[in-house]
C-alpha cells in the first residue's frame, strides 16, 4: 500500500494519501517490517541522538584521526563562527561545522550513523542540526527530516548505488547531499515535488565526483566534501523552495548518476590510485602506507 520503487510513484502516493514524503516513508517502514511504532521510533531517536553527539563532541574535544590527516577542523570552524565573521552566514556555517565534526568522529573510531555511508555521514546531520539551531526546529521535526532523507537514500540504494567503489563520491556524498536537500525542503515548508526537485538538483551539481581518498582511508578529502555536500544541499533546497522547477526528474538523475558512476575508471573509485590520492603531496603524507601505490 505504501511501497514505492521510484520517485514518480513516491510522489504519486504522497498526493494520493496527502502525505509529506516523511510520513509516507514512516508508514512504508511500519508496513514492510515486523517492528511496531515503538521499536521504530526508538531506533530513529537513537540515530538522532548519535548524530547530535558526533556533531558536537569534536568542537569541545578535537580528536586526531587514525591516520593523522584530520583533527580539529570543527573546532576551528566553530571559533570563526563565534567571532561573528563567518562569511557564508549562520546556516551554512553551522551546517559545515557539524558535518566536518561527524567525519572527525568517524575517522577517529568514534560512533556515527552511516547516512547512507560512513564516508558521507556528516551531511544529513550537519544540515538538519543547523536548521534546528538557526530556525528553532523541534526534535520531532528532525525525526521527520530523517524519514524524508531516508526515502531519497532508499531510492538511490534500490535504483542506483551508494557505494564509492561502484559509483564514485557522487554516489556517497552526492546521494547524502540529495537526501539532505530533500529533507530540508520538507522542513522549510516545501511540497513533496519540491523535495524531489531539490534532490535532483544536487545530483546534477555533484555528477561525476570521483572517490579518491588519500591513502585509501575515509579521511581526506572526504571531510571537505561533507562540508561541500551540506552547502550543495542548502543551495538546491533554496532553488526548489523558490519554485524553480527542474527539467530532469529525480528518477532520471538517479539513473544518470548510476550510469556515470559505472563509467568512472576504477582508479577513481575508492582504490586510491588517482585523483587527490596520487598528488605528490598526498603520496608524501602517506609514507609508503598507500594501498597499492
Partner 1 sequence: MSFISVFEVLGPNMIGPSSSHTAGAAAIAFLAQKMLAETVEEVDFILYGSFAKTYHGHGTDRALLGGIMGFNTEDERIRDSFELADAKGLTYSFSVDEEEKEVHPNTVDIRMTGTSGRKMTVRGESIGGGKVQITRMNSVKIHFTGEYSAVIVTHQDRPGVASHITKCLSDREVNIAYMRLFREDKGKTAYTIVESDGALPSEVAAEIQKNPYVSEVVVVEP
* C-beta closer to partner 1: residue 28 or 225: 28
Do 218 and 290 meet the contact criterion of CB atoms below 8 Å apart? no
CB atoms within 10 A of CB 279: 13
Do 2 and 31 meet the contact criterion of CB atoms below 8 Å apart? yes
Cα–Cα distance measured from residue 7 to residue 13, given in angstroms and rounded to the nearest whole number: 10
Lay out the site mask for partner 1 across 229-268 (x = CB under 8 A, - = otherwise): ----------------------------------------
Q: How far is the CB of 278 from partner 1 (least distance, A)?
A: 16
Asked if 178 interacts with partner 1 (CB under 8 A), we say no
Would you state the cell numbers that stand for residue 31, as one nine-digit string?
508496513
Q: Identify which range of 46-54, 192-200, 204-212, 225-233 contacts partner 1 by CB under 8 A.
A: 46-54
Q: How far is the CB of 162 from partner 1 (least distance, A)?
A: 8
* C-beta closer to partner 1: residue 153 or 275: 153
Residues 51-80 that bind partner 1 (CB under 8 A): 65-67
Cα–Cα distance measured from residue 232 to residue 238, given in angstroms and rounded to the nearest whole number: 10
Asked if 163 interacts with partner 1 (CB under 8 A), we say yes
Q: Identify which range of 45-53, 93-101, 227-235, 243-251 contacts partner 1 by CB under 8 A.
A: 45-53
User: What torsion do the CA atoms of 73, 58, 43, 115 make, to the nearest 10 degrees?
Assistant: 10
6, 19, 80, 114: which one contacts partner 1 (CB under 8 A)?
114
Q: How far is the CB of 179 from partner 1 (least distance, A)?
A: 8
Cα 47–Cα 93–Cα 186 angle in degrees, nearest 5: 55
Residues in CB range of 256: below 8 A, 6 or more apart: 203, 207, 248
Q: If you search the block for the grid coordinates 548510476, which residue do you land on?
A: 258
Q: How far is the CB of 152 from partner 1 (least distance, A)?
A: 8
Would you state the cell numbers that stand for residue 17, as one nine-digit string?
494519501
Would you state the cell numbers that stand for residue 26, as one nine-digit string?
514512516
- Tell me, what DSSP letter sits at residue 269? B
Q: How far is the CB of 31 from partner 1 (least distance, A)?
A: 9
Asked if 113 interacts with partner 1 (CB under 8 A), we say yes
Asked if 108 interacts with partner 1 (CB under 8 A), we say yes
Q: How far is the CB of 88 from partner 1 (least distance, A)?
A: 26
Closest CA to 156 of 257, 272, 28: 257
Cα–Cα distance measured from residue 176 to residue 205, given in angstroms and rounded to the nearest whole number: 13
Measured in degrees and rounded to the nearest 5, phi and psi for residue 269 equal: -130, 75
Asked if 44 interacts with partner 1 (CB under 8 A), we say yes
Would you state the cell numbers that stand for residue 125, as one nine-digit string?
546531520
Asked if 109 interacts with partner 1 (CB under 8 A), we say yes
**Total binding residues for partner 1 by CB under 8 A?**
51
User: Which residues bind to partner 1, rule: CB under 8 A?
Assistant: 5, 25, 28-29, 32-33, 43-44, 46-47, 50, 65-67, 105-119, 121, 124, 146-147, 149-151, 153-154, 157-158, 162-163, 179, 215-219, 289, 291-292
Amino acid at each position: 500500500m505504501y511501497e514505492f520503487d521510484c520517485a514518480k510513484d513516491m510522489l504519486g502516493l504522497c498526493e494520493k494519501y496527502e502525505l509529506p514524503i516523511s510520513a509516507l516513508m514512516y508508514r512504508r517502514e511500519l508496513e514492510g517490517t515486523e517492528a511496531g511504532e515503538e521499536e521504530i521510533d526508538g531506533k530513529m531517536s537513537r540515530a538522532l541522538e548519535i548524530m547530535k553527539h558526533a556533531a558536537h563532541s569534536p568542537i569541545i574535544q578535537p580528536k586526531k584521526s587514525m591516520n593523522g590527516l584530520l583533527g580539529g577542523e570543527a573546532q576551528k570552524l566553530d571559533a570563526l563562527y563565534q567571532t561573528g565573521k563567518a562569511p557564508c552566514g549562520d546556516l551554512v556555517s553551522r551546517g559545515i561545522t557539524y558535518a566536518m565534526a561527524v567525519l572527525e568522529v568517524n575517522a577517529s573510531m568514534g560512533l556515527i550513523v552511516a547516512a547512507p555511508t560512513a564516508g558521507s555521514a556528516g551531511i544529513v546531520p550537519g544540515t538538519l542540526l543547523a536548521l534546528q539551531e538557526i530556525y528553532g526546529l523541534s526534535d520531532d521535526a528532525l525525526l521527520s527530516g530523517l524519514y524524508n532523507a531516508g526515502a531519497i537514500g532508499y531510492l538511490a540504494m534500490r535504483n542506483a548505488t551508494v557505494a564509492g567503489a561502484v559509483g564514485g563520491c557522487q554516489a556517497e556524498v552526492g546521494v547524502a547531499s540529495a537526501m539532505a536537500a530533500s529533507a530540508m525542503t520538507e522542513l522549510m515548508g516545501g511540497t513533496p515535488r519540491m523535495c524531489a526537485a531539490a534532490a535532483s538538483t544536487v545530483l546534477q551539481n555533484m555528477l561525476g565526483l570521483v572517490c579518491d581518498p588519500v591513502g585509501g582511508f575515509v579521511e581526506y578529502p572526504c571531510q571537505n566534501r561533507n562540508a561541500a555536500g551540506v552547502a550543495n544541499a542548502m543551495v538546491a533546497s533554496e532553488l526548489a523552495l523558490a519554485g524553480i522547477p527542474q527539467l530532469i526528474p529525480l528518477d532520471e538523475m538517479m539513473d544518470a548518476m548510476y550510469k556515470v558512476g559505472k563509467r568512472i575508471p576504477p582508479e577513481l573509485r575508492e582504490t586510491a590510485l588517482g585523483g587527490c590520492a596520487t598528488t605528490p603531496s598526498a603520496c608524501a603524507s602517506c609514507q609508503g602506507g598507500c594501498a597499492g601505490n
